[in-house]
Chain A
């Protein structure tokens, strides 16, 4: 049997994290290829609905990356994210889904290395958790 390779969605905000990811790419930093990056205009446009939908359809992990607090292009967008995602994680926990499958982090446009580090860490963590149990659930 081949080794479990998780499928991970990373929502990156256009102004910081996506640029950070770009920088990581330009610098040729090595990271696991499990991540599908989705560009969003602000981390606040990542509705928790997206996270729930992804998890319940069998995605193994969801990363939400935004600008550092205070650096948001839309001033208070990431404040909203910082409040919503913890609630979403708690709800997942209540429903019996490991909340380590969702992670919120801040990556600025200059932090290519941090992007690499976050991705590597998260992929390792999700790998250790194993496949999403909901992938097998036939509703």
Chain B
């Protein structure tokens, strides 16, 4: 029989409580793997509903799903009223998500085996069950042809102004809605009614959770837990309507908003967390209401509940560093929590050296891929180049996988729209070999550029189509509430409510394209080792046979992107990046109401994009993954030199304020010497001095990752930064785990 130790005053510490919470977290993770088969997405903290729980969505369309304001608000109300509620007596905060409504449109009921069949393994899938009343068949051939992740029907991926929510409270938001509704009379009735019902549904959810606290209070016998539950109840009874007054109330209020938008449509964008919480912390400390230890615990509970993307430090609108005591407390909280965490430190010239150093120390101490680091200089310069002032550029903070956002101001489709550059290359290649009597390098380039333009044009057309109709598909009922514009105008963020429409279009697979051009230039044009037709034959046969393998190796051994500054591979990569960026920026002429911003990122689509493309002239076999983000392909240099890779990624930055992140896999052993942390700080600083925008670092030694890949269950707490998101390694599919293993082992390639 299990013996449960009753905590005493000396053992009921914040550390003890966090250990109990993490035990629960690990159990939930295990449950997700066992019952759902894991997920190739970030670890969002979501719990698994009991096996006997069922919920049926309410369709409002003959096609069988739900759409628009009516469909979404009705189902959101129903889900929040029905789904389990969660209270853990060790926690500072109440509440948790169990479902993402956006992933439930294709099933008749939650928790059914069919429910997540589409969603379960395909990153980002199933939120694109589009309203069939709006047809984009005219675009589909291009999506197919160029393997475009078009983003139509996708959601969230921009930041709210969380400060607004803290200052209004839920009742304040309701009052604002009522006030604005009166101004617009009948015109925007559906919008306002839906928004009011959304807020009320959230408040009811909080009330249901308070009832659960009561239920637990009725049966709890431990005095510490009783005391905590009473405090939790008091906090929640206040924040269900009132404005947060204390740090704990602020954390709880943020938690509810985070959980609401996560439940609605998986939204993971946080905010500048240190500045959000600082006023509450300072007031609490001045009034003697809290201690640093308690503050750290409250924040840790917020981080544990949901791995939202938060930024700390960085410049304010005037360029002054925002690092405060709370910035350090947030790192303390992440340390106390010691789980998946998406905190980013914004590195700029005035950054507090202590927090920079502490961030690097924690990265090496815990080896869980946090914190990340963003490069202020290139981000600000880039956004200014897109036509915005420095003050606005500084406000654009790291709140996503690879992206920045202006809190509450900007609608972006960040990380949702991608063009598979390798596929575009393949289209151009096949066309040239079938049509041109004299294939050539510039001939190929011209066709590539031509098809790339078409792909970008059609992608922009898709963005416009999305914005024209998305409100009738999936309005942003939750995030509308904390943006500047939707409530005031009565318009959804997608339908004119936003201040800025800075639409992100990312290119993926740049290394495949650049290396292919470089290999053709070197082996076909300059060295005359192969003819164009010979290359085509070998790639059509997927380099089969001994001779095929020989040719594949020859092509693969050509100069590559990342190998050396200014070599053929890099020159082609820069050319591709500039061409792509120009095509994207030129969409502003076609759609002056939007601002299109290019980036280079693949998110978790590296495998899927590769599966759409046959063998390529860089020696890549058919259907193998493309390169990750803007990173060179594994094996780009025999020593996989970090500085060479960074120089390459710096060279291809699109330069308009969106990112082309650097993904680094480092051996933890490099931090063993006494001055190592300082050297790594210098490395990070140089990465940003060189012009890079975002840096993700994994620290795992090769032996450990290989053991974990063989049997992930032996390493349940191994956390990796996959692309921009973190996940428990054990939760990932074998394919995805292989991707990470390949990245970490790439320095073995010779």
Q: Do A and B come from one complex?
A: no
